[in-house]
A and B are shown apart, each in its own frame.
Chain A
């Protein structure tokens, strides 16, 4: 009976709860029952808040609200899965790493504060590639997450836990983070909707940094309206983040409704090189979904060279910034502890960092230092930043002629677990479609396109800065045609 809560869109949940606030407890039971049933097969979570705590928290807050006579917040009772690199006060935040295995943050990220203000509860921290460095959630220090659509395959990464939780019905909505595609990749691989906002639209205060100039927290959901709803809550200027754009949050649901009502005819660019570089089945599936959009809009082919170079530039910049951002992890103020007495700081730090970081993280930290070191900085780091300016200019030119650019989100279907162990380069190059948005700061969305041999495939749309409404509009239109929404995988 309460199974309907498992797949119910959030915008419907809040209608249910506003009619009868006690339905929240049925909803809590439904989700937790589902988690109990499927989680040991999926392993989407690193930390799950115990069911009793959830009951107590909701009850306590409800009592407080009623006694103060204030209105019940808009999304009260809705539960969210939060990627484990987003700081949650009092709730263990590990970044998928042993070095933070027992870190209990003393403050909330700004997005968490915003969610709490509208009555949302966090029921779990989702699994991820260690420090967001990966595309399959296999570099998590704890365990890999499995794709609910095929348990032998990866759900993508680095926000794989969030994607899998949505696909398996273990969460109604989720937060992910995207530095090189880490929201869009798992969204495509788990048949859900995921959006990387314009850089600076969502506050990074409290997001444990990987590559500061590209990181963004973004919404993941099983339908477009939920995506818009979540984006409305978390976006908007934050004075605690100096890279936060000076704009107030807008109501994306209303904006979406406006677009759906007016139905403007837009221009969509089909990104030639990214289609050409994709697997045949992926190509076909994504073309089919784009075709559906092209019946409403003008589609033209666009071409942009240097897609492989973009991957190179992305990894140079990301590794450089990661190397710097991860310097602070030494076990002293927080993190993995070791015996200190009588030992010097070089030895202690080296031991903590060697034990606490996994191989992929260590590798990226080392390479990041390499591209920033004296003698190599101009050749690699500075050069990558010049490329970045060139790319942004070329992209600007493209967007003079189109409103959105379409491509497959990923060039291949979800890989098998362990498939890329031997060849790191192959996995880096799989980011070929997603990194462009991160390098340039442009927003991008992954929309379910269809299945390839029963494996999820996603369509990526990119648009100009601060035009998320266009992405949501196109997503909603496609969603109406494909009906690929609110689906829970059979696990």
Chain B
């Protein structure tokens, strides 16, 4: 059964200072309700929209980064429906149909899945306004009335719609990771902000009806919701049932999708171009200005990192997709030339612990030179790899200073042969039976090695220890003859 997954993503342009159609403050989070408002975003009678230039520039930047064709003009339409969070009872948006075109279409994002590259096509990108937020007293059913906060009303959104090119929840997840990375590189949205990145999914099994799944709250939920829905659909099909076109709602708590109440009649949005907004001409000058200001994008950076630091695609991709990590790496690479080693430790232990502790990378106190120092100590043999792994979480948390720690614990790698010899002699004396076993069976040497490790708290150089023990055992054998 072939699975077809398409995604519809709404991205808030959180980097804008004002809203899409008015000069009201767009930083509405954590504020009292209904104070980031003005006649325009409240839809007061007589108010009129005026477009934010930067919103259009950001839209062009995203369109370019997604390899889209950019329209030479932007036409806004009115999409009519009645709902308490929509002040004008129409949303100013864009529409893809004859005569009305979105700001961009026909693009793609390249992803890597199972070692191969694949293009996920972007059908269109629209610019539109966010509605307000609805709150309930208790649940949506029990509440006697709704409470509306219009702070969010009028915030600039980009709607990015893909073709149903993804064949599995994993692909969808990889696609979203790449998209988020691109958006972060462009600096148009901070996806850590609540509600700044919303995903609706369309899933179908080839030959059957398309199901839309809404209300997927976070990126982690996307894979879960899609997996559940695919299983649900497969079961129906296997039992000979039919899947008809419908909209379902993802219930995060229960981990299931539930059908949304059917509407009485199909929504007729009565789209027409907004007479208050003449078309905006997108000149090639404007596009070129945006292009010349584009930062290095993920694909470009991956290529460059591969070449510049001689890394493989896999490592380069993981670094780049976590922008802050690639930044961290390149800072460290300025003072440390074993790039592979640096990359490795960053993409394994370092990344793992940062995620484990849910640290906001922007607030990371640890600096690249600290990691480089760790690596240099490892190289010198002062620290063993085991020690580095144990130290890592503590360094990230910031409750250990390496130099202090080394001094305090004498926590250095022991490779002084004389010192090890003395420990080995102690171990031999304390474990005569083990020595006998080792003389008979070479494999039993491991017990002795382990005992030395224990005594030295793992600091003894394993190879040297092994050699010294082997030597001593030979000496004993020889002297026994």
Contacts and interface: CB of A to CB of B under 8 A. Distances in A.
Contact of B39 (A95, A106, A209, A332): A106
B233 interface: no
Nearest to B269: A374
Nearest to B40: A240
A55 interface: no
A374 B51 CA distance: 28
Interface stretch (B55-63, B80-88, B289-297, B430-438): B80-88
Interface in A339-384: 340-342, 345-346, 349, 369, 372-374, 377, 381
Interface string B30-63: 0000000001001111111111000000000000
A341 B82 contact: no
A369 B145 contact: no
B89 A330 contact: yes
Contact of B144 (A95, A240, A342): A342
A242 B51 contact: yes
B42 to A, nearest CB: 6
B43 A328 contact: yes
Interface centre among B47, B148, B277 (most CB of A within 10 A): B47
Interface in A245-295: none
A241 B83 CA distance: 26
Contacts of A87: 45-46
Nearest to B266: A374
A123 interface: no
B89 A327 contact: yes
A103 B39 CA distance: 14
Nearest to B274: A212
A340 B42 contact: no
Contacts, number: 100
B79 to A, nearest CB: 10
Given A105-B44, A346-B82, A327 B272 contact: no
A86 B43 CA distance: 15
A212 B277 CA distance: 10
A377 B272 contact: yes
A204 B278 CA distance: 14
Interface of A is mostly: loop
Interface residues of A, number: 47
Interface string B61-85: 0000000000000000010101110
B82 A349 contact: yes
A249 to B, nearest CB: 19
A4 interface: no
A345 B50 contact: no
Given A107-B44, A321-B275, A333-B42, A242 B84 contact: no
Nearest to A317: B275
A324 B77 CA distance: 11
A213 interface: yes
A100 B49 contact: no
Nearest to A208: B45
Contacts of A333: 42-44, 87, 150
A240 B44 CA distance: 14
Given A327-B90, A345-B82, A345-B84, A100 B45 contact: yes
Contacts of B90: 324, 327-328
Nearest to B276: A212
A411 interface: no
A176 to B, nearest CB: 16
B268 A374 contact: yes
Contact of A373 (B47, B88, B270): B270
Nearest to A321: B275
Given A204-B48, A241-B48, A242-B51, A330 B82 contact: yes
A106 B145 CA distance: 26
A205 B278 contact: no
Contacts of A242: 48-51, 276-278
A477 to B, nearest CB: 36
Given A106-B39, A324-B272, A372-B270, A205 B84 contact: no
Contacts of B39: 106-107
Contacts of A240: 48, 50
A417 interface: no
B44 A324 contact: no
A20 B275 CA distance: 47
A206 interface: yes
B45 A340 contact: no
Given A106-B44, A341-B144, A243 B278 contact: yes
Interface in A194-247: 204-209, 211-213, 239-243
A208 B276 CA distance: 13
Given A205-B48, A207-B46, A328 B272 contact: no
8 shortest A-B CB distances, which residue pairs?
Answer: A212-B275, A327-B89, A213-B275, A372-B270, A208-B45, A206-B46, A87-B46, A328-B88
18 contacts: A87-B45, A93-B45, A100-B45, A107-B44, A109-B46, A204-B46, A206-B47, A209-B46, A242-B48, A242-B51, A242-B277, A324-B80, A324-B270, A328-B45, A333-B87, A334-B44, A341-B145, A374-B268
Given A106-B39, A332-B84, 6 more contacts: A205-B47, A240-B48, A242-B277, A330-B82, A333-B44, A346-B82
Interface of A: 86-87, 93, 95, 100, 103, 105-107, 109, 204-209, 211-213, 239-243, 320-321, 323-324, 327-330, 332-334, 340-342, 345-346, 349, 369, 372-374, 377, 381
Interface of B: 39, 42-51, 78, 80, 82-84, 87-90, 144-146, 148, 150, 268, 270, 272, 275-278
